[in-house]
Amino acid sequence: MRKVLVIGYVWPEPRSSAAGSRMLELLGVFRSQGWQVTFASAAALSSHRADLTDLEIEEVAVALNCDSFDAYVAGQQPDLVLFDRFFTEEQFGWRVERAWPAALRVLDTSDLHCLRDARHALHKANQQSRSSEAQRHQVGPALATRDELYAAMAGADMAQREVASIYRCDLTLMISEFEMQLLQEQFGVPAALLHDCALMLIPPTLSEVPFSDRQHFLSIGNFRHAPNWDAVLWLKHALWPLIRARLPQAQLHVYGAYPPPKATALHNPKQGFHVLGWVDDAHRVMAQARVCLAPLRFGAGIKGKLADAMACGTPSVTTTIGSEGMHGAHPWPGAVVDDAQAFADAAVTLHEDSAAWSQAHANAAPLLQQRFDRPRLASELVNRLERLLASREQHRQLNFVGAMLRHHQHKSTQYMSQWIAAKNARDN
């Protein structure tokens, strides 16, 4: 029986974020193979966390900068260690290698953080170039070519850290083909270190709630995720007024985990703008909505809200960044637009025109089948991991850059962590 240790940046919250759904899906794939899975995290427990005991997964709380983790890993002797995002690999990767070097080290990026960070910086620069607050609210998505993105990313601390983490691991799971191309063509990361794995926790059957039984616009997303909060601001100040000018009785329901006071302050029923916050069942409210709005001006990865919209048969209006890596040559089940007026026009058409809505609805099923087929993606992942487990040493010999980066990381991150551990022991 394979033994898998997953080290989580946070405890998985599948009802709060796409990252939580993805982690739960990965855990389910490992358990479906009969593998013994342990989930460890140094994060605080949360009220929205999944109960992993339902999957017969052991939960272990671990400490940062503490040698007790090394002893734990050596005792577990896992075949595979999965790091949830590169921050976790930075903290624990060198400890895993030192305590149990035989373990296959796998990184799940969730999305490419350095890409999201670069686009956020570009978006801020675009806004700051405007002379008034009103003009800043009208700024569209931070669009850039891969070469332009590389120019913005190459010198950034975030990109250097994340790409170094990718090299240090035996394999990195990627969620977006755009990001894989960026890493290979612009950053020169070998294809042997990457695996296309678009697994998401998507309902297996498409919702068939008809156009006539649905109502209202919907927007959803964890408020702690910067692209989601920015999308709400763009909706509030620029997009929703354009939609309401055409549809004076229209209602927008904005859902999402962890809404801060600045978000709930935007709630205005007279304007049809309802900030409703947490919802227990996102798929239920998505299947009742007529149109999903996801005006993302920056970000990365695959957008869980849009995958959910497809699964619920709900047409969506999003941006080029929102749809990135999700549909390939398939028609989008809704509209992809980057201009504010065009966004509003597309939203109104899908809300009012049953024929346009039905065509968008019909586009969802084949896209889900081709791009997010769970059995195929799970089988490909398991097969890739088994091949690497069988040829681990040969694979590592071909990754000299990774070995070099691990060597130098041990001279910095490791010694800093050991200094903190020693200081904590002395203070206690």
Q: Do domains 3-114+144-202+374-427 and 211-371 have the same CATH topology?
A: yes
Distance CA 202, CA 340 (A): 29
**In this model, does residue 414 exceed pLDDT 70?**
no
Distance CA 359, CA 288 (A): 18
What pLDDT was estimated at residue 309?
Answer: 94
What pLDDT was estimated at residue 406?
Answer: 82
Architecture of the domain whose range is 211-371? 3-Layer(aba) Sandwich (3.40)
Instruction: Please report, for the chain, the start and end positions of each structural domain, with discontinuous segments joined by +.
Output: 3-114+144-202+374-427, 211-371
Structure tokens at 90: 């930075």
Over residues 374-403, mean pLDDT: 94
How far does Cα 369 stand from its chain's mean position?
20
What pLDDT was estimated at residue 207?
Answer: 72
DSSP tag of 412: T
The more confident residue out of 14 and 72 is: 72
List, edge to edge, every strand of the sheet that includes 3-8: 58-61, 36-41, 3-8, 80-84, 104-108, 171-174, 194-196
- Tens digits of per-residue pLDDT, 35-53? 999 999 999 988 888 999 8
Residue 310, Cβ density class (10 Å: 0-12 exposed, 13-18 middle, ≥19 buried): buried
In contact, 152 and 118? CB cutoff 8 Å: yes
Structure tokens at 296: 């993302």
pTM, 2 dp: 0.91
Residue 386 binned pLDDT confidence (cut-offs 50, 70, 90): very high
In terms of DSSP H, where are the helices of 315-412?
Answer: 320-323, 340-352, 354-371, 374-390, 392-397, 400-409
- Tens digits of per-residue pLDDT, 237-293? 999 999 999 999 999 999 999 999 999 999 999 999 999 999 989 999 999 999 999
Q: Quickly count: other Cβ atoms within 10 Å of residue 262's Cβ.
A: 11
CATH code, residues 3-114+144-202+374-427: 3.40.50.2000
Residue 409 binned pLDDT confidence (cut-offs 50, 70, 90): low
- Tens digits of per-residue pLDDT, 153-211? 999 999 999 999 999 999 999 999 999 999 999 999 999 999 999 887 676 666 789 99
Give residue for tokens 């209202």: 216
Q: Which of 102, 86, 262, 54 is nearest to 163 (CA)?
A: 86
- Residue 129 phi, psi dihedral angles, 5° rounding: -75, -10
What pLDDT was estimated at residue 412?
Answer: 60
Q: What is the mean pLDDT of the chain?
A: 92
Instruction: Name 113's Cβ contacts closer than 8 Å, sequence gap at least 6.
Output: 85, 86, 158, 162, 300
Q: Which helix (H) or strand (E) holds 6?
A: strand 3-8
Q: What is 226-288 written as a DSSP string?
A: HHHHHHHHHIIIIIHHHHHHH-TT--EEEE-SS--HHHHTT-BGGGTEEEEE--S-HHHHHHH
Q: Quickly count: other Cβ atoms within 10 Å of residue 275's Cβ.
A: 20
Report the relative pairing of strands 36-41 and 58-61 from DSSP bridges.
parallel
List, edge to edge, every strand of the sheet that includes 291-294: 273-277, 252-255, 217-220, 291-294, 316-318, 334-336
Specify which residues 293 forms β-bridges with: 317
Distance CA 79, CA 81 (A): 7
What pLDDT was estimated at residue 131?
Answer: 85
How far does Cα 299 stand from its chain's mean position?
9
What pLDDT was estimated at residue 411?
Answer: 55
Structure tokens at 146: 């891969």
DSSP tag of 44: P
Structure tokens at 133: 């607050």
